[in-house]
Amino acid sequence: MSCIRVIFSEEYNKKISNMTDLYRVLPEEMDDLVIKLGQPRYRADQLLQALYHESPKKMSDLHQIPSAMRDALVKDGYTIGSEDEVHRVVSEDGHTTKLLLKFDEKTLIETVLMQYSPTQDKTHPRSTVCVSTQVGCPMGCVFCATGQMGFEKNLKAEEIVSQVLHFANILRQRGEHVTNLVFMGMGEPLANYDETIRAIKLLTHPRAFGLGQRSITISTVGVIPGMDRLADENIQVKLAISLHAPNDELRKKLVPTAGPHSVGDLIAAAKRYFKKTGRRVTFEYALIDGINDSTKVALELAYILKGNGAHVNLIPMNPTAGGFKRPERKRVLAFQQILRNGDVNCTVRVEKGAEISAACGQLRTDMIEKIR
Ligand code: SF4
């Protein structure tokens, strides 16, 4: 695809780099900030409450904060970053909403809300936001529209946070809220490690957005140093590895950047993660018609995962521009059965929103020429 790049003036870049978005300031840092401004500590809580639960778009929307303090924040280079929603598509059943958000001329990303019917004892639907962590992606998976864009840039923590808050605001207006978060949008979250972790801290801190850590899943295509680092963080998030193949030959065809890490390395890293955290890793497997969905491949996958207590999540793939197809339903179920027969726990993900370009990166690809 063609890619339009915008050259920014040095002056503009300098101005941006000197500003700090309040959505990247951790609660402890907010305490230090208000004290530095000569304000009592409770002002930090007022700021956090307004930022995370009232959706201010600009400094003057912070009505609880004295105007002198707001002026001091502006003077010191603090801003409230706000994203523009440039496109919205809702699936026919209303359960999937996909947005294109623009943060600046260089930053246009997708984010998705997937809703599932409430379970018996709950009155609200499960509302899962799927966030992006990069513009484009360096991993280059051949079946992924984002992978085919190439890599443009890492997102900042505040840009990751804003995707969740944007949907939280939409849901709040109908009496609902964000219940879950998956890092499965554009980009490889562990290749943007520090900003991803900062975003998780902001979204889970009780004084900020307050989402439960166990409601979050990070999906990686296999950045092993990042997985090992994550195991050492005191964060109770779930980890999923996008495996897609049971052997290196096939995996390298689907994930060309997989080179340095073998399938065996990934399984070993998953075991280390479990040993350190007590949390089992899920293996995601995008099922592609005629590529990685044969009986032979299923048997091989069952063989390498048997006895690991592994859980496999099969994802019948959404069609993308690459011409890859979703297998027929009976093939998906046969693949699942082979894994189960091999004593491997296996579920099939309910795919949502295929008719609204819900595959990762697809909407941005479809829309970019129209809106830039
Ligand atoms: S599937 Fe994920 S890791 Fe692979 S190219 Fe797409 S966004 Fe990147």
Query: Which domain-ending residue is among 45, 62, 79?
Result: 79
Element at 129 (helix H, strand E): strand 126-130
What pLDDT score was predicted for residue 5? 40
Is the pLDDT assigned to residue 97 strictly greater than 70? Answer: yes
72, 100: one domain: no
Q: Which amino acid is at 313?
A: N
Write down the mean pLDDT value for the chain.
Answer: 89
53, 73: one domain: yes
Which numbered atom of ligand 1 lies nearest the CA of 146? 6
Is the pLDDT assigned to residue 212 strictly greater than 80? Answer: yes
CA–CA separation, 56 and 51 (whole Å):
6
What pLDDT score was predicted for residue 22? 97
Picking from 242, 224, 272, the residue whose alpha carbon sits closest to that of residue 182 is: 242
165, 265: one domain: yes
What pLDDT score was predicted for residue 116? 87
Any idea what the CATH number is for the domain that residue 139 is in? 3.20.20.70
Min mean pLDDT across 22-26, 221-225, 301-305, 351-355 is at: 351-355
What pLDDT score was predicted for residue 121? 61
66, 129: one domain: no
183, 160: one domain: yes
What phi and psi values does residue 46 have, to the nearest 5 degrees? -60, -45
Q: Which amino acid is at 44?
A: A
- Note whether 127 and 171 are within 8 A (CB): yes
Residues 4-25 have a mean pLDDT of 66
Is the pLDDT assigned to residue 369 strictly greater than 50? Answer: yes
Query: Which domain-ending residue is among 79, 113, 130?
Result: 79
- For residue 15, give both structure tokens: 């101005």
Per-residue pLDDT band for 337 (boundaries 50, 70, 90) equals very high
Mutate to test the pocket of ligand 1, among 144, 190, 252 (most ligand atoms within 8 A of CB): 144
What pLDDT score was predicted for residue 318? 78
231, 327: one domain: yes
Q: Which amino acid residue places its CA nearest to atom 4 of ligand 1?
A: 141
Residues 205-224 have a mean pLDDT of 96
In a domain, 1, yes or no: no
What pLDDT score was predicted for residue 295? 98
What pLDDT score was predicted for residue 153? 95
What pLDDT score was predicted for residue 41? 95
Please confirm, yes or no, whether 144 is among the known catalytic residues: no
CA–CA separation, 56 and 99 (whole Å):
20
Any idea what the CATH number is for the domain that residue 22 is in? 1.10.150.530
In a domain, 249, yes or no: yes
Residue of 83, 110, 158, 300 marked catalytic: 110
Per-residue pLDDT band for 81 (boundaries 50, 70, 90) equals confident
Ligand 1 mean position, distance from CA 322 (Å): 14
CA–CA separation, 206 and 163 (whole Å):
19
> What pairs with residue 238 in β-bridges?
217
**Per the structure, how many domains does the chain have?**
2
DSSP type of residue 26: -
Per-residue pLDDT band for 3 (boundaries 50, 70, 90) equals very low
C-beta neighbour count of 125 within 10 angstroms: 16
In a domain, 197, yes or no: yes
Residues 186-196 have a mean pLDDT of 97
What pLDDT score was predicted for residue 353? 60
Is the pLDDT assigned to residue 86 strictly greater than 50? Answer: yes
Is the pLDDT assigned to residue 144 strictly greater than 70? Answer: yes
What pLDDT score was predicted for residue 299? 98
Is the pLDDT assigned to residue 343 strictly greater than 50? Answer: yes
What pLDDT score was predicted for residue 141? 92
- The answer, as to whether pTM is greater than 0.85, is yes
In a domain, 257, yes or no: yes
In a domain, 5, yes or no: no
CA–CA separation, 116 and 202 (whole Å):
25
30, 149: one domain: no
Per-residue pLDDT band for 351 (boundaries 50, 70, 90) equals low
CA–CA separation, 244 and 254 (whole Å):
8
What pLDDT score was predicted for residue 367? 64
What pLDDT score was predicted for residue 262? 95
Residue in the block written with tokens 């065996």: 264
Which numbered atom of ligand 1 lies nearest the CA of 187? 7
Residues 17-32 have a mean pLDDT of 93
Is the pLDDT assigned to residue 124 strictly greater than 90? Answer: no
Query: Which domain-ending residue is among 53, 79, 105?
Result: 79
In a domain, 55, yes or no: yes
70, 200: one domain: no
What pLDDT score was predicted for residue 360? 65
C-beta neighbour count of 236 within 10 angstroms: 14
Min mean pLDDT across 4-13, 139-148, 341-350 is at: 4-13
Mutate to test the pocket of ligand 1, among 111, 130, 146 (most ligand atoms within 8 A of CB): 146
Domain that holds residue 134: 84-371
Is the pLDDT assigned to residue 187 strictly greater than 80? Answer: yes
- Note whether 302 and 339 are within 8 A (CB): yes
159, 124: one domain: yes
Per-residue pLDDT band for 365 (boundaries 50, 70, 90) equals low
255, 164: one domain: yes
In a domain, 112, yes or no: yes
What pLDDT score was predicted for residue 352? 64
Distance, C-alpha 236 to centroid of its chain: 16
274, 135: one domain: yes
Please confirm, yes or no, whether 92 is among the known catalytic residues: no
Is the pLDDT assigned to residue 14 strictly greater than 80? Answer: no
61, 166: one domain: no
Residues with Cβ within 6 A of ligand 1?
Answer: 137, 139-141, 144, 146-147, 186-188, 221, 360
In a domain, 2, yes or no: no
pLDDT, greater one: 280 or 351: 280
Taking the alpha carbons at both ends of the chain, their separation in whole angstroms is 14
Is the pLDDT assigned to residue 217 strictly greater than 90? Answer: yes
